[in-house]
Chain A
Amino acid sequence: MSTAEPAIELKGISKAFGPVQANKDISIRVMPGTIHGIIGENGAGKSTLMSILYGFYKADKGEIFISGKKTEIPDSQAAISAGIGMVFQHFKLVENFTVLENIILGAEDGWLLKPSLAKARKSLIDLAAEYELNVDPDALIEEIGVGMQQRVEILKALYRQADILILDEPTGVLTPSEADQLFRILGRLREEGKTIILITHKLREIMETTDTVSVMRRGEMTATVKTADTSPEELAELMVGRKVLLRVDKKPPQVGEVVLNVENLRVVDEQGVERLKSISLNVRAGEILGIAGVAGNGQSELLEVLGGYADGTGTVTLNGETIDLTGKHSDGKSRRARGIAHVPEDRQREGLIMDYTAWENTAFGYHHDPAYQSGILINNAAIRKDTEEKMERFDVRPPNPRLTAKNFSGGNQQKIVLAREIERNPDLLLIGQPTRGVDIGAIEFIHKQIVALRDQGKAILLVSVELEEILSLADRVAVMFDGNIMGERAVGDTDEKELGLLMAGVET
């Protein structure tokens, strides 16, 4: 295999968007029949590079060779005929079409649909047998789960006879077991001689699945190494450009009184579905309670009720005093007044207004603060100054309060929200998916802030679908499944395997 031509070879690819150099003189060789990882922080230029390979952008400079042959890829059609298939991070499927219709779209055999559909149906059966990619060809996309939708995307590429498959952050939307399944499928594809390029920012996936890995940083390819010869620590350092602590350093907790006590909390949504069945838990001062679980098992509803924007029944007390779960004293404002701060799961929808500036976003929820007032008007200058100081303390880059929220990277957006909530000195911090879509350097910072808050004797309720994050941050962990708490463990007394079983709803 080592004598074969590389399946893909890029030579000196450069691409600029205005003044931003997204790709700088990138060269890479991907051998056939291997899984090649490309890792880098958000904005390192991974997606741009792959978009060039798939004909979405045209490179300013550089050459592309497919199986040793120089190839021009001006559009997606050219990429498809060169045998390249791409599975985007956000699927490109028509929601109200069937699986079969999505597969033939753009690759029909003639101007009538019937023969194309029949042919695709037959070839789907063959592909399913060959790669263990089973899907119901007549199911509507909107009715199948994301894991299945991703299979459809892979099948789309295979149906177009792709030999090279590019997957962009494929596990971002998958549950751990779905991700495992995906990697089994990728292994199978490799056995059949397909070449796979896996783009991700998750070190673990790279270590577990790839043969070789290339690291990108700020538009440049900083290294290409054999996966077997490297370590997560080395890769993290190559990505960020400095040493990174992957594990959080923390002292044993100094646990105090119970701050938050929840008994028999129940939530029924608008459709009448019981989202939380009967949750009881408590969080004490100076500790982090981690809520683990596969997304959609009631964690979001738990945060929403405690944060004051969904109704529930049951008893919730904060420092011994009851909190209203319905009615006019159950909203974000009264929660904040009681000393509860909330960093919501979806920062772009619930944590920030993306079209507003950083300083406006910093004032939200706290805009009645006397320090922000000037007579009957809001004192914008005071807010901007306060924001600037917060941005400095939280290392938000760039530290410009007048920039709109959408112009910050995911990690910096999260820091803006975190600064707003933490600096109000809450008794209880609710925090959901603190590092979703955040790059490694920022993850380290955010984790340190959370631990620092704990060490100040605050109670923290942490919800995350990343088990690794829970295990490294939390002192105790409760696992949610189907609206219930399956079990609670001290972090020192458990492991991923036991928690994984609880997450799947298996009593241990």
Chain B
Amino acid sequence: MDFFTLIQVLDATVRLAIPLLLACLAGLFSERAGIFDIGLEGKMLAAAFFSAAIASMTGSVWIGLLAGIGASLFLSGIHGLASITFRGNQLISGVAINFLAAGMTVLIAQSWFSQGGRTPSLTGAARFNPINFPGALTTTNEVKAASPLMQVYSELLSGHSLLVYVALLLVPLSWWALYRTRFGLRLRAVGENPAAVDTAGVSVVGLRYAAVAICGILCGIAGAYLSTALQAGFVKDMSAGRGFIALAALIFAKWRPWHALYATFLFGLFQALELRPDVIESVIGIKIQSQFLGALPYIMTVVILAGFVGKAIPPRAGGEPYVKER
């Protein structure tokens, strides 16, 4: 394997890790506040569809993004209503959201566009297009011939869509918000011991809704990224289990923002390698089934959960509706 191939694989890692990262951070805010959310997948899917559909209708990817976030927020609202206000089972609510999104997106897509559950292909301003850094080379042949440093600059750092850079900025921002602000302190507290927050005179319900809303916004961006940046349009089930891999990454990261970055990039690398079986074969000399790579994030999560690599302790009040008691 030459250096350029490595750079290409890493470049694909970045592109594939970004939706995982956004969904993982979404789950992080929600679960840190004590609301388990297995509906990340469904929210991403709904956002992917609505952002592509609205972008295709209006021709503006920004309006599409807003529509995607709106759709995801709507589903978050349902989850919040079920699990915070009505104190229902958070897992069941999440499963319901996943099914709802899987079915509704295809149904609405067929009814609006009659293209077999797809949206029309997006072009021009209806997509998030790559941003090329100044001086970066753009064609593959030029990059291949350039110096290693230039290859890193042009292929790996430059040429991603705006959402990639936004997602990466969200990592330090999330860390800062969680650990350096009043909101973060309260958010973490409400996931650990809501009674402590309640007796301190702060609204548990308000904090949890805020967390669920942030989760909705981030899932919305993740979904929009899938259909308007990574791909050019919506196809059926395009989230392809990313919401679940993000949850696995969240456990792997032990609910910490920087570790979420590392975990999702590791899982992104597996996905990138899944697409390039030739690369693995040339490095380790044996052929590995791509399905194995696809399963690797889950296997690693089971290993983590079994406690082989330190202990992954979820927020203590996670999954429990808060009922006031003396």
Q: Which residue numbers of A lie inside 8 Å of B, CB to CB?
A: 47-48, 50-51, 54, 56, 75-77, 79-80, 86, 88, 92-97, 101-102, 104-108, 110-114, 116, 156
| Stretch binding the partner chain, chosen from B55-63, B193-201, B268-276 | B193-201
Chain B proximity of A384: nearest CB distance (Å): 32
Known: A48-B326, A108-B182, A112-B180. A95 touches B316 (CB 8 A): yes
Residues of B within 8 A of A156 (CB): 200
Check B201 against A111 for contact (C-beta < 8 Å).
Answer: no
Q: How far is the CA of A501 from the CA of B180 in the complex (A)?
A: 48
Task: Give Cα A107 to B185, complex, Å.
Answer: 11
A95 touches B197 (CB 8 A): no
Are B189 and A51 in touch, CB under 8 angstroms?
no
Chain B: which residue is nearest A75 at the CB level? B201
Task: Pick the contact of B196: A54, A56, A105, A116 (CB < 8 A).
Answer: A105
B184: which A residues are within 8 A, CB to CB?
113
Once A108-B185, A112-B181 are accepted as A-B contacts, the answer to whether A51 and B193 lie under 8 Å apart by CB is no
Give the Cβ gap from B5 to chain A, nearest Cβ, in Å: 44
How close is A394's CB to chain B, nearest CB, in angstroms?
Answer: 29
Q: Are A107 and B200 in contact (CB under 8 A)?
A: yes
26 example contacts (A-B, Cβ-Cβ < 8 A) are as follows: A48-B326, A56-B324, A77-B202, A80-B200, A88-B199, A92-B193, A92-B195, A93-B193, A94-B188, A94-B189, A94-B193, A94-B196, A96-B192, A97-B188, A97-B192, A105-B185, A105-B189, A105-B202, A110-B182, A111-B181, A111-B182, A112-B181, A113-B179, A113-B182, A113-B185, A114-B180
B186 at the interface (CB under 8 A from A): yes
Which single residue of chain A is at the shortest CB-CB distance from B324? A56
B311 CB to nearest chain A CB (Å): 12
Closest A residue to B202 by beta carbon equals A106
A48: chain B residues within 8 A (beta carbon): 326
Question: B183 at interface (Cβ–Cβ under 8 A)?
Answer: yes
> Contacts A48-B326, A95-B192 hold; do A101 and B185 have CB atoms under 8 A apart?
yes
Asked if residues B180 and A47 are in contact (CB atoms below 8 Å), the reply is no
Distance A88 CA – B198 CA, assembled complex (angstroms): 13
State which of A51, A106, A113 has its C-beta within 8 Å of the C-beta of B180. Answer: A113
Distance (whole angstroms) from the CB of B134 to the closest CB of chain A: 35
Supposing A97-B192, A114-B180 touch, asked if A56 and B185 sit within 8 A by C-beta, the answer is no
The docked-state distance in angstroms from the alpha carbon of A240 to that of B195 is 32
Please indicate which of the listed interface residues A105, A110, A116, A156 has the most CB atoms of chain B within 10 Å of its own CB. A105
Main secondary structure of the interface of B (DSSP, over half): helix
User: In the complex, which residues of chain A have a beta carbon less than 8 angstroms from the beta carbon of B201?
Assistant: 75-77, 79-80, 106
Q: Which residues of A sit under 8 angstroms from B324, Cβ to Cβ?
A: 56
Interface flags for B198-235 (1: CB within 8 Å of A; 0: not) read 11111000000000000000000000000000000000
CA distance A116 to B182 in the complex (A): 9
Given the complex, which residues of B lie within 8 Å of A51, measured CB to CB?
326
How many Cβ-Cβ contacts under 8 Å join chain A to chain B? 75
**Alpha-carbon gap, A54 to B183, bound state (A):** 24
Interface residues of B in 145-201 (CB under 8 A from A): 179-186, 188-189, 192-193, 195-201
Complex contact A92–B182 (CB within 8 A): no
Is the CB–CB distance between B182 and A95 below 8 Å? no
Among candidates B185, B195, B197, B199, residue contacting A104 with C-beta atoms closer than 8 Å? B185
Instruction: Identify 18 new A-B residue pairs, CB closer than 8 A, beyond the known A108-B185, A113-B179.
Output: A50-B326, A51-B326, A76-B199, A76-B200, A76-B201, A77-B201, A77-B202, A94-B192, A95-B192, A95-B193, A96-B192, A96-B316, A97-B192, A106-B186, A108-B182, A112-B181, A114-B180, A156-B200
**Docked complex Cα distance between A102 and B189 (Å):** 9
Most A-side CB within 10 Å, residue of B184, B186, B196, B316: B196
Find chain A residues with CB under 8 A from B197 CB.
Answer: 105-106
The 8 closest A-B pairs by CB, nearest first: A106-B200, A77-B201, A92-B196, A76-B201, A108-B182, A92-B199, A106-B202, A94-B192
| CA A105 to CA B187, docked complex, whole Å | 10
Find chain A residues with CB under 8 A from B181 CB: 111-113
Are A102 and B196 touching (Cβ within 8 A)? yes
A86 vs B324: C-alpha distance in the bound complex, in angstroms? 15
Q: Chain A contacts of B196 at CB under 8 A? A: 92-94, 102, 105
Docked pose: A107 CA to B184 CA in angstroms: 14
Contact with A along B292-326 (1 / 0, CB 8 A): 00000000000000000000000010000000101
Q: In the docked arrangement, what's the CA distance between A94 and B188, Å?
A: 9
Q: Which of A50, A94, A97, A102 has the most CB of B within 10 A?
A: A94
CB neighbours of B179 from chain A (8 A): 113
| Complex Cα–Cα for A336 and B182 (A) | 56
Residues of A within 8 A of B180 (CB): 112-114
Query: Roughly how many angstroms separate A51 CA and B326 CA in the complex, as a whole number?
Result: 7
Most buried by A among B182, B198, B324: B182
**Closest CB of chain B to A489's CB: distance in Å?**
41
Which residues of chain A are near B188, meaning CB under 8 Å?
94, 97
CB-CB under 8 A from B186, the residues of chain A are 105-106
Q: Cβ of A97: which chain B residues have Cβ within 8 Å of it?
A: 188-189, 192
Chain B min CB distance to A470 (Å) = 31
CB-defined contacts of A107 to chain B, threshold 8 Å: 200
CA of A125 to CA of B168, assembled, Å: 41
Query: Closest Cβ of chain B: how far from A47's Cβ, in Å?
Result: 5
Complex Cα spacing A30 to B165, Å: 62
- The minimal Cβ–Cβ distance linking B168 to chain A, given in whole angstroms, is 24
Measured CA separation A107–B201 after assembly (Å) = 9
Chain B CB count within 10 A is highest, among A75, A77, A92, for A92
Closest beta carbon of chain B to A147's beta carbon, Å:
19
Contacts of A111 in B (CB 8 A): 181-183
Taken together as a complex, chains A and B put the C-alpha atoms of A96 and B182 apart, in Å, by 16
User: Which residue of chain B has its CB nearest to the CB of A50?
Assistant: B326
**Residues of A contacting B202 in the complex (Cβ-Cβ under 8 angstroms):** 77, 105-106
- CB of B326 within 8 A of CB of A56, answer yes
Residue among B183, B186, B202 having the largest count of chain A Cβ atoms under 10 Å: B202
For residue B183, which residues in chain A have a CB less than 8 angstroms away from its CB? 111
